[in-house]
C-alpha cells in the first residue's frame, strides 16, 4: 500500500494547464512569447496562495495571479510617477 498525496498540487495543476497552452505560445511572435513567459513567471510567484484553493480551476488562479502581479507593478509605477511629478513641480504638494 502506498501512502501519499492523492491529488495534484496547485503547481502541478498550473504546469498541466500551461502545457495545454503550448500551441498558443508557439504561434506568438518572439517578442510576444517573451511577454507570455514573463506573465507565466509572475503567476508562479503566487503559487503559495493558489495552494489554498485546491478545488478551484488552475486557470482561474493563474488569471488572478497575473492580475495581482499587474496591480502590484502598477502601484509601484504610480508611486514613482508621483515622486517624479513632485520633483519637477507638476504635482502640487
Per-residue pLDDT at 53: 85
Secondary structure (DSSP) of 51-76: TT-TTS-HHHHHHHHHHHHHHHHHHH
Within-domain flag for 59: yes
Instruction: Classify residue 35: in a domain, yes or no.
Output: yes
pLDDT at 8: 86
In a domain, 80, yes or no: yes
pLDDT in tens for each of the 93 residues of the chain?
555 667 888 999 999 999 999 999 999 999 999 999 999 999 999 999 998 887 889 999 999 999 999 999 999 999 998 888 776 666 665
**In-domain check, residue 93:** no
Give Cβ neighbours of residue 55 (< 8 Å, ≥ 6 apart). none
What pLDDT score was predicted for residue 92?
A: 60
> Quick check: is 1 in a domain?
no
Task: Supply the range of the domain harboring residue 82.
Answer: 10-87
Q: Provide the number of structural domains found in the chain.
A: 1
**Residue 64: inside a domain:** yes
- Whole-prediction pTM: 0.76
Is 2 a member of any domain? no
Q: How many CA atoms lie within 13 A of 29 on its CB side?
A: 2
Residue 92 lies in a domain: no
Amino acid at each position: 500500500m502506498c501512502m501519499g498525496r492523492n491529488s495534484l498540487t496547485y503547481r502541478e495543476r498550473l504546469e498541466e494547464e500551461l502545457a495545454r497552452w503550448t500551441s498558443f505560445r508557439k504561434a506568438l511572435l518572439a517578442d510576444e512569447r517573451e511577454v507570455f513567459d514573463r506573465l507565466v513567471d509572475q503567476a508562479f510567484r503566487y503559487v503559495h496562495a493558489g495552494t489554498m484553493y485546491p478545488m478551484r480551476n488552475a486557470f482561474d488562479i493563474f488569471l488572478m495571479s497575473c492580475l495581482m502581479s499587474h496591480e502590484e507593478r502598477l502601484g509601484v509605477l504610480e508611486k514613482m510617477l508621483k515622486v517624479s511629478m513632485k520633483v519637477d513641480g507638476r504635482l502640487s504638494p
